[in-house]
Structure 1
Amino acid sequence: MDPSKIREKIGRFRILTIGRANAGKTTILQRVCNTRDNPEIFNSGGEKIDSAVLTASRERGEHDIGNEMVFQSNPGFVFHDSRGFEAGGESEFNKVKAFIADRSKEATLKDRLHAIWYCIPMDEASRSFTAGETKFFSQCDTGSIPVIVLFTKFDALYDIEFKKLKKNGLSRKDAKEMAQKHAEESFANGPQLQFLKDVRRPPKCHICLPNMNKDDADCSSLIERTAETLDNEVLQQLFVSTQQTNLDLCMQYAVEK
């Protein structure tokens, strides 16, 4: 089907982001939508919510996962946000579980959830999964909706390896050159990936995202892996044609299809 006809029929590609506070979710969405601006927020009825109202709600500890975040730079994406489960514990987990289940039952494809990006920050001292995250990957049935784990702030591991290499006697220059490779090797054999292999409901894939706070940050790997996880060809074409950060991917899928 022609991408313009797909967009006409389905409209927008819908993604749920889940993650702790300061997991870097907004920064990644800005990179995907190629902007520095904050998103506009709409309620489930499509009405724009004033920023003052949102601020007041946040101060009261209120959060509505049904609200839609849209960046004007790329309105073809609509994002829903969960605060992560440390914020509301059992209550927040149940909200997310119900939201995913409800969206799965929507009659039309345009109202369903199309992908889930689960953000795990790597700059926290423990770098381990919280009880809420363990619960999600053990108990939350997402059906046909693919879950992609995003290990955010991955460059924090480069700093750790840099310090280790310096401590072992390497020069600053050599330690800096080798830190990334060492971090990637250490992570590949670390507890995070082992955890994802052992859980009852593992994600479709994972991706490591360093330096997303930089102006020249490259999120093309996130776009590629997300496209690969989509089993529905129509959704795959919608996603590829909606994203604007990886033109090579558009060409690749145009040739393949």
Structure 2
Amino acid sequence: MTEQKVRYEISRDWPPPRRRQPQPSQITTEITRPETFRILIIGRANAGKTTLLRAVCGAEGEPDLYDRDDNKVRTQLCDIRLSSHIHTFLQRGEHNIEYALKFPSNPGFSFHDSRGFESGAVDELEVVRQFIRSKAGLGSMKKQLHAIWYCFSADNNRFMTAADKEFFNTIDTGSVPVIAIFTKFDALDSVAFSALSAQGIPFEEAQKRAPEYAKAQFDQELMPLIEKLAHPPRAVVCLRNMHNKSLPDLIQKAASELIEKTEAALDDDALKVLLVQAQYPNVELCLKAALK
């Protein structure tokens, strides 16, 4: 082929025809990014769930309640704060797990509440199982469940009941990480202090060593049981003094630890970014994430 003919072929085929852009009516799949990080929080009464959520969100008041379509729940008369209804929702367990709690001061989190499992509470366990399964099957990341916080109260003589073990042994949450949270861990410090004092350790020294001793006993006695579960949590967090408002720095540190452990347990980088963005009131955590 002569040079003249090659030039002719190039000029005839160039520029290539522009591809037709699909019209809006032709687009059948809509990609939406989630605006909130969705968490299922499980725990029996007095497990410190409400205190925990307030600490994480940096909130003082009550959360607002949203239905499954993300509409704020209203009374029949007017749109008012539903403090008494939400108090009942959290404290008595009279609720719909599909409904979400959001604090106005930090709408980056959506919390779904489960009242936990008492021995023989088959119904609630099945409700949670179906909720996790249904959220996992949703195609939209916006409505999917992103993490599970399972709360245990450390001031209870029985850390883990048979019903709790059934959850971890029979429910596979797949890619949704479960974080085991032991609240009120400072209650174990008192037990540790008594044990150290009984060993003849002076008062001030026993008081100083009690938190470390309590954690060591926890790791030695309880962690092996947790690790033997069929579907163990991906992370374990022990929180102290969350209820003590006179120690705001310790509360923020505990909340940051929980968020960091949750972030580390996530497999999806996009969800990690979403979690950090949701925690925008916590400047320290955002700076740590930016430096990674």
TM-score, normalising length: structure 1:
0.89
- Which residue is equivalent to 2:68? 44
User: Could you tell me which of 214, 218, 225 is aligned with 1:195?
Assistant: 225
Correspondence list, 1:54-133, <5 A: 62-86=94-118, 89-127=121-159, 129-133=160-164
Residues 208 and 52 of structure 1: CA distance in aligned 2, closer, same or farther (over 3 Å): closer
The answer to whether the 8 A contact 1:223-1:246 is kept is no
For 1:248 and 1:194, the matched residues in 2 are separated by 32
For 1:254 and 1:109, the matched residues in 2 are separated by 23
For 1:179 and 1:57, the matched residues in 2 are separated by 36
Higher relative contact order (CA 8 A, sep 6+): 1
**Are residue 168 (structure 1) and residue 172 (structure 2) matched?**
no
- Which residue is equivalent to 1:181? 212
Residues 106 and 187 of structure 1: CA distance in aligned 2, closer, same or farther (over 3 Å): same
**Are residue 220 (structure 1) and residue 256 (structure 2) matched?**
yes
Runs ≥4 residues deviating over 4 A: 51-61
- Which residue is equivalent to 1:144? 175
Q: Which moves more between the two structures, 218-227 or 74-83?
A: 218-227
The count of corresponding residues between Structure 1 and Structure 2 is 247
Taking only aligned residues, the RMSD between alpha carbons, in angstroms, comes to 2.1
User: Whose helix fraction is larger, Structure 1's or Structure 2's?
Assistant: 1
Q: Which moves more between the two structures, 47-56 or 241-250?
A: 47-56
The answer to whether the 8 A contact 1:220-1:245 is kept is no
Which consecutive residues of structure 1, in runs of 5 or more, have no partner in the other structure?
1-7
For the residue of structure 1 that corresponds to 2:42, the secondary structure is strand
TM-score, normalising length: structure 2:
0.79
**Shift, 1:87, TM fit:** 8.0
For 1:154 and 1:58, the matched residues in 2 are separated by 21
The answer to whether the 8 A contact 2:93-2:114 is kept is no
For 1:14-57, what per-residue CA distance to the aligned partner results, in whole angstroms no more than 9, with x for missing partners?
Answer: 00000111111111110000122121112223232544555677
**Are residue 153 (structure 1) and residue 177 (structure 2) matched?**
no
For the residue of structure 1 that corresponds to 2:73, the secondary structure is coil
Which consecutive residues of structure 2, in runs of 5 or more, have no partner in the other structure?
1-31, 75-81
Q: For the pair shown, which has the larger CA radius of gyration, 1 or 2?
A: 2
Residues 9 and 37 of structure 1: CA distance in aligned 2, closer, same or farther (over 3 Å): same
For 1:59 and 1:35, the matched residues in 2 are separated by 18
For the residue of structure 2 that corresponds to 1:103, the secondary structure is helix
For the residue of structure 1 that corresponds to 2:237, the secondary structure is strand
Matched residues, percent identical? 40
